[in-house]
Structure 1
Amino acid sequence: MAQLVKIGQTLIGENQPTYVIGEIGINHNGDIEIAKKLIDVAALSGCNAVKFQKRTPELCVPEAQKNLMRETPWGIMTYMDYRYRVEFGEAEYAEIDKYCKQKGVTWFASCWDEPSVDFIEKFDPACYKIASAAVTNDSLIRYHVEKGRPIILSTGMSAMEEIKRAFGWLSPVNRLIAHCTSAYPCKPEELNLRMIRTLSSEFNCPVGYSGHEVGLQTTLAAVVLGASFIERHITLDRAMWGSDQAASVEPPGLMRLVRDIRVIEQALGDGQKKVYDSEKGMIKRLRNISE
């Protein structure tokens, strides 16, 4: 049996309830009120956590892209200015931290550079997530590990050898891994959900699923295949401006997703054959009909 890992006060792993993460990412478009509404949606739906993304633009934006002009809801601006426009600072994250505590929702972030790790560390996060884009960034992974917190390793756009190398840097008792395909939105034929079982057999840790598909049925299938945690991008409206909105789940869909995950958990049972009390009346009525 794979090790269990605790995020906040919640154990994650085999025979535990599926841990559901609503990825806000940058779907807040730099607006703290949108972020709060998304936290409200996650709390109302029964999500365990929400996740944000944190970058230091001057470190994360390639030099060739910094001065490219881009159309945005705030007018035409350089890509660099746009990246700053959608980044929250200390005041916003302090508000997010306070608001999530009020709502009883855990929050954490994917940090794309070392200063971003230092920034988020000030808020005592329950865990970190290594974005798929950083799987080959050994120094950034090691920098996360130094903080001593649980780490979710995402595996999009990565070969198995790259995943094994990144996984090897993580603490043996504080690591989780998420199957992922980094296409937005992702076609069903590229989801490769059986990788959940492949990763579970390869790595001694909780294995989950980070999905970017349209619809809910394949995410539910991931739970049936054994995903210990689920992450889906969430949005107020898929038609909103932003690169991740189209692959996100709107509020009614998120409520259905969490509801159906909980029903599936009940239905899966423990795999031990038994005769239920509800069947005993049928035994008396039907068992001897053909005998």
Structure 2
Amino acid sequence: MGKTFIIAEAGVNHNGSIELAKQLVDIAADAKVDVVKFQTFKSENLVCKYTSKAEYQKKTTSKDESQFIMLKKLELDIESHKILMDYCRNKGIMFLSTAFDLESIELLNKLGLELFKIPSGEITNYPYLKRIGSLKKKVILSTGMSCLKEIEEAVKVLKENGTNNITVLHCNTEYPTPMDDVNLNAMKTIKEELDVEVGYSDHTLGIEVSIAAVAMGAKVIEKHFTLDRNMEGPDHKASLEPNELKAMVKSIRNIEKALGNGVKVPSKSEIKNLNMARKSIVANKNIKKGERFTEENLACKRPGNGLSPMKWTQVVGKSAIKDFEKDEMIIL
């Protein structure tokens, strides 16, 4: 089976600092994820100046500022993008960023990104989807807050405009997501109904849901991470800290190995135990040559390198070809 594509979502957890962003790249590279992802937006293009914050944002940032002011402090300019791309290249990790507006799509396209990640909030943004589709690049589409029909329509727009390589991520856009709202089985529904590769964008606390998603067939996992959950900012509280990110990656890689190829045969590691765990047909007491084998004078005991107990009915009623001592393996 293919390797799970793990996206470490730095997002805006750099708090507007290029040095902090570099530290996040270091953490992601150390955890051996496939990608570290940031967010690209112009606040003027993303949000009206009077737009209020989401409830989770109000809890984790200053209550006196609007969503616009909050986001303005978290923008990365083109020079910051170039610095981070170079830094990722030197660290041997893929750089990715999510565009939140049309101008940002153009910026990332000019910078040479071959993969575009569409955030949940843009799944009903027709002009945005049309432009992404026209780039004919690989696309990962998040689906928080959406129903199956909306996902289907978004995928249709992408395909009609030239993009066919699409992976759809099941997602819940609440930070953090309550466990009883995860609905991980919806990921399977998306795969079955839309015939696409699927994955999971995880906003729960902890790592178990991402691991479960891989066991259920997720090809992509996206998870927020931070240097410290106690930092001020909209997404830190629902993010993994460095050691947790490492643990998630290690667990996912172990699950990939554990899933195997689906063929049910004895494994290399267990085959040495076969004879010691299984049983053979043996004499339950001393049996004389010519004496008939019966249910009473036979037994099934370890080891299993003699006649299999599955041959029991073929043995009972036959005559002993020699004397057998108690516990001696029967031969015919």
User: Structure 2 length normalisation: TM-score?
Assistant: 0.78
Match of 1:202 among 181, 187, 193: 193
Identical positions, percent = 35
User: CA offsets per residue over residues 162-207 of structure 1, 9 Å max, x none?
Assistant: 1110011123532110000110000000000111211111223220
- Please tell me the residue identity of whatever aligns with 2:24: L
Q: Go from structure 1 to structure 2 and tell me whether the alpha carbon gap of 1:78 and 1:281 turns closer, same or farther (over 3 Å shift).
A: closer
Tell me, in whole angstroms, the C-alpha distance in 2 between the residues paired with 1:122 and 1:100.
17
Give yes or no for the alignment of 1:243 onto 2:234: yes
Q: Is the 8 A contact 1:128 1:152 kept in 2?
A: yes
Shift of 1:54: 1.3
Shift of 1:37: 0.8
- Please tell me the residue identity of whatever aligns with 1:115: E
Q: Go from structure 1 to structure 2 and tell me whether the alpha carbon gap of 1:229 and 1:79 turns closer, same or farther (over 3 Å shift).
A: closer
Give yes or no for the alignment of 1:28 onto 2:19: no
Q: Go from structure 1 to structure 2 and tell me whether the alpha carbon gap of 1:75 and 1:164 turns closer, same or farther (over 3 Å shift).
A: closer
Give yes or no for the alignment of 1:84 onto 2:72: yes
Aligned residues between the structures: 274
Tell me, in whole angstroms, the C-alpha distance in 2 between the residues paired with 1:183 and 1:143.
27
Q: Go from structure 1 to structure 2 and tell me whether the alpha carbon gap of 1:261 and 1:271 turns closer, same or farther (over 3 Å shift).
A: same
- Please tell me the residue identity of whatever aligns with 1:18: T
Partner of 1:138: 126
Partner of 1:65: 51
Tell me, in whole angstroms, the C-alpha distance in 2 between the residues paired with 1:57 and 1:129.
18
Q: Is the 8 A contact 1:107 1:126 kept in 2?
A: no
User: Structure 1 length normalisation: TM-score?
Assistant: 0.88
Give yes or no for the alignment of 1:190 onto 2:177: no
SS at match of 1:145: helix
Give yes or no for the alignment of 1:276 onto 2:262: no
Give yes or no for the alignment of 1:115 onto 2:103: yes
Shift of 1:72: 9.6
- Please tell me the residue identity of whatever aligns with 1:162: E
RMSD in angstroms over aligned alpha carbons? 2.1
Shift of 1:132: 0.6
User: CA offsets per residue over residues 57-112 of structure 1, 9 Å max, x none?
Assistant: 1121224239xxx9998997665343222101011111001001111111222211
The within-5 A match list for 1:85-234 is 85-171=73-159, 173-234=164-225
Q: Is the 8 A contact 2:49 2:66 kept in 1?
A: no
SS at match of 2:229: coil
User: CA offsets per residue over residues 224-247 of structure 1, 9 Å max, x none?
Assistant: 111001000010011111111111
Segment drifting more, 278-287 vs 109-118: 278-287
Q: Go from structure 1 to structure 2 and tell me whether the alpha carbon gap of 1:77 and 1:136 turns closer, same or farther (over 3 Å shift).
A: closer
Partner of 2:326: none
SS at match of 2:6: strand
Partner of 2:24: 38
Partner of 1:265: 256
Partner of 1:4: none
Deviating runs (4+, > 3 A) in structure 1?
A: 70-82
Partner of 2:247: 256
SS at match of 1:255: helix
